Amino acid sequence: MKYLSINSLIIFNLFFTLLIYSNNMFGQIVVIDAGHGYNRDCSNGDGRTETEINTNYAVSVKLKYILEASNYTVYLTRTSNGCDSWISVDQRAYLSNSWGANILLSIHCNAGGGSVTETFYCEKNDPDVNPDKAFAEDVQSEMAYYGEWTNRRTVEDNSYLGYHLGVLSQTNATGCLNEIGFVDNLDDAAKLLDDNWRDEFAYAYAWAISDVPTGLEDHISLRLDIDHFNTNYPYLDVAHYNFVDEWPNGDYIVQWGNLKVTASNGCENITLMDTPYNDIYIPNLPEGYLWERDQDGNVIALLTKSGIDNDGYYHEASVPIYIQNVPNTFITSGTLTSNTFWCGNINLTGYRTIRNNLDSQP
């Protein structure tokens, strides 16, 4: 193993910082998603091992330190490793989008009788999967090198797992999910619990992130005259956007996407508005949903504008907005009807009959 002394750590960080600056890649927003976490009562709701929960978080913090020293803007979806640190997959993706992430890296550990590292990318809801695939392949390659792992696989999630990973399918960023190693393999677990190896995993991720194109040379600039809105009221010409052609010169948008407003109910993102115009008109929000709200009770939403340039590259810009005076119609008790939306864990008591055509979500 390539153990690093304190001096070599300093040299590595200095060299990595110089590399980033020389590649003109500072200014990117990176979201590090440490998988799983603990419930409010400190229980483990996902049934994951402490090895995975603790390793995910420890590596994410180390990676954050390296990237911030290189002038990246870094956010953690899981900001602690204690009680009440668990958040849903949908919330993780929503946070990434609301922060305007250029890159999302989801850090996990595997289980099920295998060994070594593997990486997933997702093509669902992705107009151009090539950057995600390239990022996933780079993460896998660096992890195999720095972690001294056998290169298990890099694969599109649904093609191998039979389903799409929620945090990847809902994010706007270039993203992938890496399984560092297997917690139920003795050799893998020994590495996962070793702080020196965790350093190596963080460095592997950092090198892979440094190879991701910034997407900031050309970009969509989106701004609003106001950011608080009421429903059923037309706000005319309050959204302003343009394409910033910085480098190389000569690019322009050939196909603008619609102006969209989405909001999260804790389980999924719901489109509230989708229009080709610059005006914002948000209808009444569907009833029965537990909307994400700020401390003032406003529903937190995301306004997005996208476009495809003359080279075929997809660009997207998002800004958070706040919807005022939305009543809380989420039902916490009473009779479950076909028009009631339930999200999360519920307790059913007494006699209950569930029709086959009622939708349910885990």
In the block, residue with structure tokens 């569907």? 286
pTM of the predicted model, to two decimals? 0.57
In 3D space, the residue among 260, 264, 262 whose CA is nearest the CA of residue 274 turns out to be 260
Alpha-carbon distance of 58 to 61, in angstroms, equals: 5
The rounded distance, in Å, linking the Cα atoms of 86 and 231 is 32
Two tokens at 361?
A: 């979500």
Q: What are the Cα distances from residue 120, in Å, to 33, 104, 140, 178?
A: 14, 12, 9, 6
Q: Which residues contact 349 (CB under 8 A, 6 or more apart)?
A: none
CA 323 – CA 332 distance, rounded (Å):
22
Residue located via tokens 């850090």: 107
pLDDT at 145 over 80: yes
Cβ of 124: how many Cβ atoms within 10 Å? 15
Residue 16 tokens, joined: 């990595």
User: pLDDT digit string (tens) for 247-265?
Assistant: 556 788 999 999 999 998 7
pLDDT at 288: 77
Distance CA 195, CA 37 (A): 19
Mean pLDDT along residues 13-27: 43
Give the residue-averaged pLDDT of 265-273: 84
- CA–CA gap between residue 63 and residue 30 (Å, rounded): 10
Question: Could you give the percent of the chain with pLDDT greater than 90?
Answer: 49
Q: What is the DSSP string of 251-320?
A: --EEEEPPEEEEEE-SS-EEEEEEESSS-B---PPPTT----B-TTSPEEEEEEEEEEETTS-EEEEEEE
pLDDT of res. 178:
96
For the cut 60, the answer to whether the pLDDT of residue 21 exceeds it is no
Amino acid at 41: D
Mean pLDDT calculated for residue range 167-181: 93
Helix axes 195-210, 6-22, angle to 10 degrees: 10
Confidence (pLDDT) at 295: 86
Q: What pLDDT, on a 0 to 100 scale, did the predictor assign at position 99?
A: 92
**Which range (9-13, 283-287, 295-299, 314-318) has the least confidence?**
9-13
Which residues share a beta bridge with 151?
Answer: 117
Looking at residue 14, what is its pLDDT?
43
* Dist CA 130 CA 122 (whole Å): 10
What was the pLDDT predicted at 210? 83
- Give the long-range contacts of residues 308-314, CB within 8 A, separation 24 or more: 308/127, 308/253, 308/254, 308/255, 308/257, 309/218, 309/243, 309/251, 309/252, 309/253, 309/254, 310/251, 310/252, 310/253, 310/254, 311/251, 312/128, 313/128, 313/218, 314/127, 314/128
Q: What is the pLDDT of residue 304?
A: 94
Please tell me the distance from the alpha carbon of residue 56 to that of residue 268, in angstroms, as a whole number. 24
**What mean pLDDT do residues 105-122 have?**
93
Structural domains of the chain, ranges and CATH numbers in brackets: 6-210 (3.40.630.40), 218-323 (2.60.40)
The predicted pLDDT at position 353 comes to 55
The pLDDT value recorded for residue 69 is 79
Contacts of 62 (CB under 8 A, 6+ apart): 198, 199, 201, 202
Query: CA separation (Å) from 177 to 45, 146, 162, 166, 250?
Result: 21, 17, 16, 11, 35
Residue 238: strand, helix, or coil: coil
Q: What is the pLDDT of residue 47?
A: 74
Q: pLDDT tens digits, residue range 32-85?
A: 999 888 888 888 767 788 899 999 999 999 999 988 877 789 999 998 888 888
Q: Which of 89, 85, 78, 81 is nearest to 40 (CA)?
A: 85
The length of the chain is 362
